[in-house]
Structure 1
Amino acid sequence: MSANSLDPAVAARLKRDPDGLVPAIAQQYDTGEVLMLGWMDDEALHRTLTTGRATYWSRSRQEYWVKGDTSGHVQHVKSVALDCDADTVLVKVDQVGAACHTGDRTCFDAGELRLDAS
């Protein structure tokens, strides 16, 4: 394994989309608050695991970004886990400041959708 590659045992488990990505849910480690969803490929996951800073792949800019490098709203990684299907990553973080690019604490505060179930 090279210094810049994901552990082969982890890489073998991941189920990626056709672009080689998996969704990564960021959650506040101590409260359980869901903060945001980003995307990771093998390199972003490797960087996250080895630096302790959440690193994502930007689908729009086609580049890696480390949460907080521009805004100062850093995500200090506390743990990383795969879901049962190994197609989603849960990144438990200590969020400094806002998680959302809008400046809000979480990306999931735009209003709940109405349930029509009877």
Structure 2
Amino acid sequence: MTADPASPALAAPPTLSKADREGGLVFSPKFGPDGTLTCVTVDADSGQVLMVGHMNAESLALTIETGEGWYWSRSRQELWHKGATSGNVQKVTELRVDCDQDALVMAVRVEGHGATCHTGQVSCFYRRVPLGQRAADGPVRLEHAGGERRFDPSDVYGKP
């Protein structure tokens, strides 16, 4: 699925009182100074956190309209349809907004290889930071947190 150039971005959110924003039923996303809000994406079946991304008004509108995960790439400064290159398209099953409407949690089922991370891992969160380490003792070390690598990135993206 590609973006429809005629598809409008999410309309400017209405001005709501704090009470209406926090307790009402009108979607009025509160974008940050950079025009984005944070979206935590989880597996619809297991609840595992797959990734954290950012959405601007256009990517949020496309996500709602198409039922697939769209994001704003802050590093590339471009619209990003998750899975357009890899085939690991995110099919949205639920989209939740937090109390003050400045963050989202999106539940998805991933097509293709069933992996979200560009490294081939199911989740971008495949390492953990063991607590109790002291930075003064040297580099803080990571450990593998489980999960599996579902594809070789060089096969999918054509580069090592």
Please tell me the TM-score bracket, short chain as reference: 0.7 to 0.9
Consecutive unaligned residues of structure 1, counting only runs of 5 or more, are none
Greater percentage in strand? 1
1:106 partner letter: S
1:68 is aligned to 2:100: no
For the Cα contact (< 8 Å) 2:39–2:55, is it kept in 1? yes
Work out the CA distance in 2 between the residues paired with 1:93 and 1:46: 16
Larger of the two Rg values belongs to structure: 2
Where does residue 42 of structure 1 map in the other structure? 57
Aligned positions, number: 113
1:100 partner letter: C
Q: Secondary structure at the match of 1:44?
A: helix
CA offset at residue 85 of structure 1?
2.0
Where does residue 5 of structure 1 map in the other structure? 9
For the Cα contact (< 8 Å) 2:9–2:59, is it kept in 1? no
For the Cα contact (< 8 Å) 2:53–2:71, is it kept in 1? yes
CA offset at residue 46 of structure 1?
0.3
Q: Secondary structure at the match of 1:35?
A: strand
CA offset at residue 3 of structure 1?
5.0
Alignment of 1:23-102 (within 5 A): 23-96=38-111, 97-102=114-119
CA offset at residue 112 of structure 1?
3.4
Consecutive unaligned residues of structure 2, counting only runs of 5 or more, are 1-5, 14-25, 134-160
Listed one character per residue, the Cα deviations across residues 73-117 of structure 1 (whole Å, up to 9, x for unaligned) are 11001111101121111111002321111111001111233157x
TM (norm. structure 1) is: 0.86
Seen in structure 2, the aligned counterparts of structure 1 residues 16 and 103 have a Cα distance that, compared at 3 Å, is same
Aligned residue among 1, 7, 14 for 2:29:
14
Aligned residue among 99, 116, 122 for 1:105:
122
Large movers: runs of 4+ above 6 Å: none
C-alpha RMSD of the superposition? 1.8
1:40 partner letter: M
TM (norm. structure 2) is: 0.65
Work out the CA distance in 2 between the residues paired with 1:55 and 1:33: 19
Identical amino acids, percent of aligned pairs: 42
Work out the CA distance in 2 between the residues paired with 1:3 and 1:101: 28
